[in-house]
């Protein structure tokens, strides 16, 4: 049997949740993601992924009310967060918060959609309650107006300020829609693999968060920001990129397992990153550096920018610290992971591929034990 390193090109099941880069293009339950990003909010898209269709106005209001109802955290969870070190990786904080919720409110008696709503309400609060506590010993209130979107709730807790530029809120909201689902991404694979063992919802989610954290997956937006920060200007970037190519270094925010041409999400978020440059707090230089890199690497190496490059440019202009970039990805992917966990449970077969053995030949324990 042929080995497929990295399971590249292996079809390991079926899904109704999304199509990615093939046939009918990038769609969630049949809806084009480009149109969802144009006309819908993240909450509508989250509802679509959890309930397999877009909500009516009344269903949406009810959904938003339920999400907002979970923003205040249980006291025991706050105590756990207060004990985490100041220098914790922020994704680890979210992973720990998710895992702790699994012990405080175990799955039996809760539907996956309800637990996803719980996490959608709580994730920003988990991260930002911890953040303010470790930097200033403040125990912030995590309650915001019930009509506030997930994006606005995040920004309000981050800055502890009620006012945010509508373009910042919109850019964040669109990024969440684009991050919400992507077929068999590495973290989704892990979530489905855990679900296939009949494990509980919170274990599946915790495993997925740990997988997303890696720089080749959800950590790439943070990695792209760190890389861009190392360049003083577009010309400085191109000089350094040349050297990096010679050293065969990886460019964060570039390349993709599925998209060998353009990542359809990149153009959408790039447009918001560009619009943000016209704001007084915008950063045109950062945008031009990213654009120069994009053009150069496409021409010279045939490698396209993926969405994480311009997410980094957009998030930086929204005032979000780079270490929190992957955390927004975790929040966004929660409904996508949930859809896959439910789908896996609905037609389960244990996911268990094989490994070809290439270790030592048979060895004699008794000969070694005498030494």
Q: Respond yes or no: is residue 217 known to be catalytic.
A: yes
Residue whose C-alpha is closest to residue 33's, from 177, 183, 185 = 177
State yes or no: is 164 an active-site residue.
no
Taking the C-alpha atoms of residue 143 and residue 128, their distance in angstroms, rounded to an integer, is 12
CB of 108 to ligand COA, least distance (A): 36
Q: Of the two residues 34 and 245, which places its CB atom closer to ligand COA in the complex?
A: 245
Minimum Å distance from CB 366 to ligand COA? 44
Annotated catalytic residue, options 148, 173, 263, 308: 308
Catalytic residue (one of 173, 256, 263, 340): 256
Nearer to ligand COA, 37 or 220 (CB): 220
Can you tell me whether residue 27 is helix, strand or coil?
strand
DSSP H or E stretch at residue 171: helix 166-179
Q: Which is nearer to ligand COA, 250 or 298 (CB)?
A: 250
Q: Which residue is nearest to ligand COA (CB)?
A: 255
- Tell me the helix, strand and coil percentages in the chain, rounded to 5: 60, 0, 40
How many whole angstroms from its chain centre is CA 365?
A: 47
> In terms of Cα–Cα distance, which of 358, 343, 44 is closest to 176?
44
Least distance in Å: CB of 265 to ligand COA?
Answer: 9
User: Residue 247 contacts by C-beta under 8 Å, 6 or more apart in sequence?
Assistant: none
CB of 197 to ligand COA, least distance (A): 26
Give the shortest CB-203-to-ligand COA separation in angstroms: 25
Pairing of strands 27-28, 18-19: antiparallel
Please pick, among 92, 114, 165, 217, the residue that the annotation labels catalytic: 217
Q: Which tokens is 258 given?
A: 């599925």
Question: Quick one: 28 or 179, whose CB is closer to ligand COA?
Answer: 179
Ordered DSSP codes for 70-109 = T-SPPHHHHHHHHTS-TT--HHHHHHHHHHHHHHHS-STT
- 39 catalytic, yes or no? no
For ligand COA, the binding residues (CB under 6 A) are 6, 216, 220, 250-257, 303, 306, 308
Is 67 or 191 the residue whose CB approaches ligand COA more closely? 191
Active site residues: 217, 256, 308
């Amino acid at each position: 049997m042929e080995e497929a390193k990295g399971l590249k090109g292996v079809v390991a099941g079926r899904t109704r949740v999304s199509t990615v880069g093939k046939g009918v293009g990038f769609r969630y339950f049949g809806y084009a993601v480009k149109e969802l990003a144009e006309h819908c909010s993240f909450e509508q898209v989250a509802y679509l992924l959890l309930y397999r269709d877009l909500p009516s106005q009344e269903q949406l209001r009810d959904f938003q009310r339920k999400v907002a109802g979970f923003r205040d955290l249980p006291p025991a969870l706050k105590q756990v967060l207060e004990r985490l070190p100041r220098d914790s990786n922020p994704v680890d904080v979210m992973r720990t918060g998710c895992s702790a919720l699994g012990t405080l409110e175990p799955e039996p008696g809760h539907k996956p959609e309800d637990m996803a709503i719980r996490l959608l309400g709580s994730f920003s609060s988990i991260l930002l309650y911890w953040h303010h506590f470790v930097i200033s010993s403040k125990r912030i209130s995590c309650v915001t107006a019930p009509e506030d979107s997930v994006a606005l709730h995040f920004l309000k807790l981050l800055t502890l300020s009620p006012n945010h530029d509508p373009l910042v809120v919109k850019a964040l909201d669109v990024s969440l829609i684009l991050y919400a689902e992507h077929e068999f991404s590495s973290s989704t694979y892990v979530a489905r693999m855990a679900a296939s063992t009949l494990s509980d919802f919170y274990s599946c989610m915790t495993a997925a968060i740990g997988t997303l954290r890696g720089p080749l997956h959800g950590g790439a937006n943070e990695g792209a920001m760190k890389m861009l920060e190392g360049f003083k200007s577009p010309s400085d970037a191109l000089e350094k990129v040349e050297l990096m190519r010679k050293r065969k270094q990886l460019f964060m925010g570039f390349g993709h397992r599925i998209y060998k041409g353009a990542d359809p999400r990149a153009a959408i978020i790039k447009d918001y990153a560009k619009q943000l440059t016209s704001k007084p707090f915008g950063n045109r230089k950062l945008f031009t550096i990213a654009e120069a890199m994009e053009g150069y690497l496409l021409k010279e190496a045939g490698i396209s920018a993926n969405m994480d490059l311009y997410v980094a440019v957009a998030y930086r202009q929204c005032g979000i610290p780079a270490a929190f970039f992957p955390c927004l990805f975790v929040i966004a992917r929660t409904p996508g992971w949930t859809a896959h966990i439910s789908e896996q449970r609905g037609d389960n077969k244990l996911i268990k591929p094989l490994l070809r053995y290439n270790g030592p030949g048979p060895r004699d324990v008794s000969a070694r034990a005498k030494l």
